[in-house]
Amino acid sequence: MAQARASQKDAYTLILEAIDGGIYRPGDRLVESELAERFGVSRTPIREALQRLETQSLLTRDGRSLIVASLDHNQMSELYAVRCELEGLAARLAARHATEEEIQVLAEMVDEDRALLNDPTALSRANRRFHKMIHLASHNRFLVQQLDLVHRSMALMATTSLAAEGRGEKALSEHSAIVDAIARRDEDAAYQALRDHISVAFVTRLKLDSLSHG
């Protein structure tokens, strides 16, 4: 029974990571047999994982097929509204609770990520790690859980806002301002800096989407 649970978790995580990594993009059809073959997992845990992803609205039905869901304009706006508040709260709590070591790691991440400015995909992964570190530095497990759900839904966006020209550099200077506020233990400044950062990212994404649909 424990083995079945482990393989179900593995199948779920593997599919989730494949969506998150852009192997399966919004609109792509997911076929049980192909997934089982790709991940070397039997079809039962794959089926259970697909059902779970469907209940979380990460997959949707197209006739009898399951496809990776995509977010329409309204859903994207709703997601960013929630993300803005929750990320801002995480930064506020990080300014209150982060250890000196956590603050040091955040500062080092900003410095190291400068080497990735010409690689939007790598920068996007690094960006997720940076935000996750802030979530953990909030030392609030319930907030971390909610932000995990939000970030899971972010995987349903076909593009990263970091792909926009010049956005990577601006994003890193915004990250730097967030870390400075957390290091100063300035809760209001940390909250505002992270909210502003998410807001700019959303505007950038809307521009990217309008170009791709134009």
126-171 per-position pLDDT tens digit: 999 999 999 999 999 999 999 998 988 888 886 778 878 889 999 9
Strand boundaries in the chain, DSSP class E: 29-30, 59-62, 65-68
Contact indicator for 107, 179 with CB cutoff of 8 Å: yes
In this predicted structure, what is the pLDDT of residue 210? 76
- Residue 140's contacts (CB-CB under 8 Å, 6 or more residues apart) are 90, 93, 97
Exposed (0-12), middle (13-18) or buried (19+): which is 43, by Cβ within 10 Å?
middle
| Residues 204, 208, 213, 214, CA torsion sign | positive
In this predicted structure, what is the pLDDT of residue 1? 41
In this predicted structure, what is the pLDDT of residue 20? 81
pTM confidence score: 0.83
Exposed (0-12), middle (13-18) or buried (19+): which is 198, by Cβ within 10 Å?
buried
Q: Which residues of the chain have a pLDDT value below 50?
A: 1-8
Question: Residue 212: left if φ>0, alpha if ψ -120 to 50, beta else—which one?
Answer: alpha
